[in-house]
Chain A
Amino acid sequence: MGKQEDFVLRALEERDVRFVRLWFTDVLGFLKSVAVAPAELEGAFAEGIGFDGSAIEGFARVYEADMLAKPDPSTFQILPWRGEGPSTARMFCDIVMPDGSPSYADPRYVLKRTLGKAAEQGFTFYTHPEIEFYLFKDTPVAGADPVPVDRSGYFDHTAQSMGADFRREAITMLESMGISVEFSHHEGGPGQQEIDLRYADALSTADNIMTFRTVIREVALSQDIWATFMPKPFTTHPGSGMHTHVSLFEGDRNAFFEAGAEYQLSKTGRQFIAGILRHANEISCVTNQWVNSYKRMMFGGEAPSYICWGHNNRSAMIRVPMYKPNKGQSTRVELRTIDAAANPYLAYAVVLAAGMKGIEEGYDLPREAEDDVWSLSERERKSLGIDPLPRSLHDAIGIAEESELLAETLGEHVFDFFLRNKRAEWEEYRGQVSAFERDRMLPVL
């Protein structure tokens, strides 16, 4: 065993940990958890904890159900919401097959593989997510409209607001789990919050996002409210995105930065953006994986509908933020498509793969969008070469099925499962008769 395993085993002793929750993520991005006693952990490090993979969404080909969860000791954390006394800890796991080979069904392995490929070219991938979510007064009830905890708007400071208390407690808890918070404020919709995590390497960020969602839900429950990362809970209010600032580093050097270049953006940076733009349609069903995701991207505002980039242009899909002098290391680009309900492992893997493709093939960056893309006419956009993003999950799946980039990145197993699952989701949705239809038609037809 290595030093990190040793550290964990020691910490269990010193912190009086009674249970360790082993966390992993299924293909759709839902967190799974197995609790083990500390005594079993040594074995878990050596061999993993066996479980029936066929019970997990998207994991096993039916006949190879035996899988092992192998904890990653570098992700060890005490869970803060369990209160005083004996504590509970968590670790993220890698999923392996009985012969010790990593499982291609494990989203964490998908991301690790993609990061590994980038590392072969000398790059490390850093991400910095801005996560939005809504707070409601009650737990959801089928058929009833949810009631937000307040009626404030963007950056509003509200006296004794539930949201502010909530953010304070959530942030304290996140920080105590070693997840640094950069920024937090009230977002545009009623009851909508935004919390930004500090930038970190993509694997840590993805782990952090999974932890973040759990923490936010736990804190909400403790205050008798409900938190949701649903991409678009209201027709009339903005949806919840997960804008992510991304950058590549070569060793200690930010590979996106080049002094004196336009927007201080290096050739590598431009090719990376070009890669994401060219493959935006293909990866859409991963960055925006739900039927509901596409309703977020219909009405303008913070969510993009068109494939373009711009300097400080908030209507563009990719925004190159204003350069701050002497901050070459912080050169980055902001991707605005990803929503808060994406599987972060898969989403970051496909974004990185698309960007790396741009670098490998030396794509040229299309011209910058200088206007508010929403205000342009269809014809104007066409003449500027600005294509729309998929308009529905159905469109996205159709494009994804033809994508070699996506298959290569996700691995055959996840690619196949994911698309089958999404198609089923679409078919189920297609058959639904909605309140909208009844409201419109019953009175008149």
Chain B
Amino acid sequence: MSRPATTKGTLLRLGFHDPDASLAALSRLDTAADPLLALLARSADPDLAVASLVRLLEVVEDPAELLEEIVDDEGTAMRLLCVLGASQALADHLVRHPEHWRELTDPLMGSTRPAAYALRADLLRAVGADPEADEPTATIPDDEAVDALRVEYRRALLRLAARDLAHDLGLDDAAAELSDLAAGTLEAALAVARQRVGPDSGLARLAVVAMGKCGGHELNYVSDVDVIFVFEPTDGGGDAEPDLGAATRVATQLASHLIRVCSDHTSEGTIWPVDAALRPEGKSGPLVRTLASHRGYYERWAKTWEFQALLKARPVAGDLALGHEYLDTVSPMVWTAAEREGFVADTQAMRRRVIDQIPPREAERQLKLGSGGLRDVEFAVQLLQLVHGRADRQIRPPATLSALAELTRGGYVGREDGEALHDAYCFLRTLEHRIQLFQLRRTHVVPADEESLRRLGRSMGLFKDPVGSLDKAWQHHRLEVRRLHEKLFYRPLLAAVAKLPGTEARLSLEAAGERLAALGYLDPKAALRHLEALTTGVSRTANIQRTLLPAMLEWFADAPDPDAGLFGFRRISESLGESPWYLKTLRDEGQVAERLARLLATSRYATSLLEREPQGVRMLGEDLVPLSAEALTEEMLASSRRQVDPEKAVRAVRAIRRRELFRIAAGDLLGLIDVADVGAGLSRLTDATLEATLGVAGRSVREQRGFEDAPTRMAVVAMGRYGGFELSYGSDADVLFVHDPEPGADPQAASSYATAVANELRRLLSLPGADPALQVDADLRPEGKQGALVRTLDAYAAYYAKWSKVWESQALLRADAVVGDLELRRRFETLIDPLRFPEEGISPDDVLEVRRIKARVDQERLPRGADPQTHLKLGRGGLADIEWTVQLLQMRYAGHVPGLRTSRTLEALDAARAAGLVEEDDAVELAHAWRTVSRIRNAVTLVRGKPGDQLPRDPREKAAVATILGYPPGASDTMVNDYLRITRHARAVVDKVFWE
């Protein structure tokens, strides 16, 4: 043996994967093996290439000649082995038609692209038709012609694949040549159809207009070929009226035969399916139409997407003159489509379709559909052509890459973005081509097995770590495409308003306005003004804004109120001005910018908090969990002590409160914290605020009165929803003030001092200022507004001993002494516990009394004009219903059930359930309703910027509330239906438990 040099190790190094089998195959090549080894190593799959070569040698007429040729001519060898290593299907074709290997010997292949007319002529001759004839007609027997067409098609495809794989054909060239090949094939198929129809075929002139990828001159190796048929009756000459009926029949026959000739399966396989579904009226419309009928349809009935399809129309076969007439007729209409009513809505729907329609399965490995797929690029480019193509003829080319190039040149897309997208598109399409080439199957899914990935990677020139490199390149380009909308739609808007010196063309203001409207901004002019204000200049700030805004604009566009979002962003950016951290944070921490965009375009409440103190933006990078009461109190006390002037001290406290309000609102809006956390967070925040302010007020009064020490100890008792840890945004804090004079102090002076402190506290917290005021409401005190603002502990004891009414006991259920002197707080609770949690429960008379009061409240408290079904607080199954039910259980049973001794609704409800006072299911219904209603109530405040107790009636507000609650767009009435159901269930439980 003369070839000991080749070992398994050599083969493995060269990229073979099955050295045993390949060694055996190589031995069959004899002396040719060595010279071919290096070329085999450059093929996509060397094992497959050598195995296929051996198969070919077995069937070829003169194996010695073939071997000699490829050993002598490196070009031929390279072409043959590249094809054999990358395409199983073409290898099979060669085995079936071994003589075709000679096709690959043509030395000019590397430099010459066959002309479209030459391909057409070859294909026509294959079916025995005369390429020079006006209406070429096949002459060989029908079944032979159908097979001959398939063989000829593959012969041409073989040459194309060889050039593509071995000579680095550009993607656009390969795709264009595939389209030419398809056009010639359609022509030859029409020739076969003419033969089938017979002499009558002359009655109609038929034009085949390619649409989609074939029309755009950017076809895949294997895909449906989209066409539309146009016909006219042949002019009979002389006086004879052309017969429209006969012509329709003939044209329909020709068209349907043509479709079958291409798509039928024979012993030579099939070519590709011809799809005529893009025709007017789709599959239900007639297969062929006259020019006038097409015109009539597009003038009156066509939809935006149909015009989008016409962007790619191109006559490719049959009567080309007629085809061009068709094009001249319909293309002007394409460019007026943007003036049609409903265009903006249609475009928005199309844009959303691009974003939304991510097929669940295979999405990750799909090249065509799905996020970052080819369809995204094609669709987005066409959309831009429709939006701007009316005014600018330059951007109308049908091929995606050419259109993208023109859009870039015209400034509709930024230059770098255009280039990046171009590269990404080429890469993804080439990958798609290589996948399809292997089996000549129509697929857009990247295979997951290592063997295929290795072959694909190598076929694209990635010989070093083919699997890893391919994956890396793929992910890189996919990422480029994923941020496509930002690049294509939003970034150029900034170029339009930025008055920057530069040579790059940019979007006109008018075009920018059109585009903003198409993206859902209601007031494009104002939006452009904001953009201009934000990005003008050469400062660093303007620079960063220009990189930031495209993404922001997209996030705004996806939220309920894009215009408000952009306007809010402008105001905040202006007030933060040059703060070094602001733009840096937005730019470098993507999450902060997206959260900010969503808040601004959803919530007036959060926007107004931010406007007062934009520093809050920083917080959006954190996890937004409410701070603990201890930490808050400590911070507030510390910063109030640094100020001597009481008003300044409380201003510091209120600033911290505002900051924390924003933290809670943001966490709520972004769905990061639960509704119970919101209530608890707001209540704790109020605790800390009151604690710090009580200190300041005390200091202030002592200073005024010249006291060294306070003559009395003070505490503040939280009541109502505050006491229940259930505050919502913007609610008042219900409280009681209690004090206890120091031993030996003058009771009169102590009382006067305590009243002054309470008044000072309320004044300081309600002073007008930049930060939201906190209204402290003491109306629940004994004797209400007529009673003393502050009482001593003894006075409370005396009052309750003498006057206590059941409604007062009920109010005390929610009492939580949280602020001020610790000892006093404890004593106050000890005082009221027997009242609110009587050992034997309240008397039957009191139960009746509670029910009677509730009945009156239901009747009288609902504001005029309120809808009792949807009033969140007092409506059917609303908060009052649920809370009264729980409170009645507490008053009756807390004496025995310690768990009921709490000020919080959900805790008490849970204890009642555990004690068997409420059935499991009922408790679940009540808790669910309470949470839902509370969430909606919070959402209403967030959206409107002020509190509200009614489910919103305004459609926009209703939609925004539904969005915050997580409903998809267009489901606001579903939210109402859910609300009504949940509260009806709650009411049923209330009827059972409260009213018995």
- What residues on B are CB-neighbors of A9 within 8 Å? 300-301
- What residues on B are CB-neighbors of A412 within 8 Å? 976-977, 979-981, 984
Are B303 and A97 in touch, CB under 8 angstroms?
no
> Given known contacts A97-B972, A102-B973, what 6 new A-B pairs fall within 8 Å (CB)?
A2-B303, A63-B953, A104-B976, A412-B976, A412-B980, A413-B980
Q: How many residues of A contact B (CB 8 A)?
A: 27
A61/B870 contact (C-beta < 8 A), A1-B303, A9-B300, A407-B984 known: yes
A61/B869 contact (C-beta < 8 A), A6-B301, A413-B977 known: yes
Kindly state whether residue B974 has any CB partner on chain A within 8 Å: yes
Closest to A43 in B: B341
Bound Cα distance A412, B982 (Å):
10
Bound Cα distance A66, B342 (Å):
21
Bound Cα distance A10, B984 (Å):
48
Kindly state whether residue A411 has any CB partner on chain B within 8 Å: yes
Kindly state whether residue B501 has any CB partner on chain A within 8 Å: no
Bound Cα distance A42, B342 (Å):
11
Are B955 and A98 in touch, CB under 8 angstroms?
yes
Are B342 and A46 in touch, CB under 8 angstroms?
yes
A3/B281 contact (C-beta < 8 A), A411-B977, A416-B980 known: yes
| Smallest CB separation, A96 vs chain B (Å) | 9
Bound Cα distance A46, B303 (Å):
12
A101/B282 contact (C-beta < 8 A), A64-B953, A412-B977, A412-B980 known: no
- What residues on B are CB-neighbors of A413 within 8 Å? 976-977, 980
* CB pairs A–B below 8 angstroms (25 shown): A1-B303, A3-B281, A6-B301, A9-B300, A10-B300, A10-B301, A61-B953, A63-B867, A64-B953, A64-B955, A97-B973, A99-B955, A99-B970, A100-B970, A101-B970, A101-B971, A101-B973, A103-B973, A104-B974, A104-B977, A407-B984, A411-B977, A412-B980, A416-B869, A416-B984
Kindly state whether residue B284 has any CB partner on chain A within 8 Å: yes
- What residues on A are CB-neighbors of B281 within 8 Å? 3, 6
| B contact face: mostly helix, strand, loop, or mixed | helix
In the A-B complex, the 9 residue pairs with the smallest Cβ-Cβ separation, listed nearest first, are A412-B980, A6-B301, A63-B953, A101-B973, A98-B955, A101-B970, A99-B955, A104-B977, A412-B981
- What residues on A are CB-neighbors of B959 within 8 Å? 99
Kindly state whether residue B958 has any CB partner on chain A within 8 Å: yes
Closest to B951 in A: A61
Kindly state whether residue A62 has any CB partner on chain B within 8 Å: yes
Closest to A414 in B: B977
Bound Cα distance A97, B952 (Å):
14
Those of A1-27 within 8 Å (CB) of chain B: 1-3, 6, 9-10
| Smallest CB separation, B979 vs chain A (Å) | 8
Are B974 and A101 in touch, CB under 8 angstroms?
yes
Bound Cα distance A100, B968 (Å):
12
Interface string of A39-77 (1 = CB under 8 A from B): 000100010000000000000011110100000000000
| Smallest CB separation, A410 vs chain B (Å) | 10
Interface string of B957-993 (1 = CB under 8 A from A): 0110000000000111110110111001000000000
Bound Cα distance A66, B977 (Å):
17
Chain B residues touching A, range: 20 to 34
- What residues on A are CB-neighbors of B970 within 8 Å? 99-101
Instruction: Pick from B345, B955, B981: contact of A97, CB below 8 A.
Output: B955
- What residues on B are CB-neighbors of A61 within 8 Å? 867, 869-870, 953
Bound Cα distance A61, B951 (Å):
12
- What residues on B are CB-neighbors of A6 within 8 Å? 281, 301
- What residues on A are CB-neighbors of B972 within 8 Å? 97, 99, 101
- What residues on A are CB-neighbors of B345 within 8 Å? 46
Bound Cα distance A64, B977 (Å):
14
Bound Cα distance A412, B979 (Å):
9
Bound Cα distance A64, B957 (Å):
12
Closest to B304 in A: A1
- What residues on B are CB-neighbors of A66 within 8 Å? 955
- What residues on B are CB-neighbors of A98 within 8 Å? 955
- What residues on A are CB-neighbors of B980 within 8 Å? 412-413, 416
Closest to A103 in B: B973
A62/B867 contact (C-beta < 8 A), A9-B300, A99-B958 known: yes
- What residues on B are CB-neighbors of A408 within 8 Å? 981
Most buried by A among B869, B970, B976: B976
- What residues on A are CB-neighbors of B981 within 8 Å? 407-408, 412
Those of A117-168 within 8 Å (CB) of chain B: none
| Smallest CB separation, B616 vs chain A (Å) | 31
| Smallest CB separation, A45 vs chain B (Å) | 10
Those of A78-107 within 8 Å (CB) of chain B: 97-104
- What residues on A are CB-neighbors of B974 within 8 Å? 101, 104
Interface string of A280-317 (1 = CB under 8 A from B): 00000000000000000000000000000000000000
Bound Cα distance A6, B281 (Å):
9
- What residues on A are CB-neighbors of B976 within 8 Å? 104, 412-413
- What residues on B are CB-neighbors of A97 within 8 Å? 955, 972-973
- What residues on B are CB-neighbors of A416 within 8 Å? 869, 980, 984
| Smallest CB separation, A74 vs chain B (Å) | 13
Bound Cα distance A66, B341 (Å):
23
Interface string of A230-258 (1 = CB under 8 A from B): 00000000000000000000000000000
- What residues on A are CB-neighbors of B284 within 8 Å? 3
Bound Cα distance A416, B972 (Å):
19
Bound Cα distance A414, B470 (Å):
59
Closest to A401 in B: B988
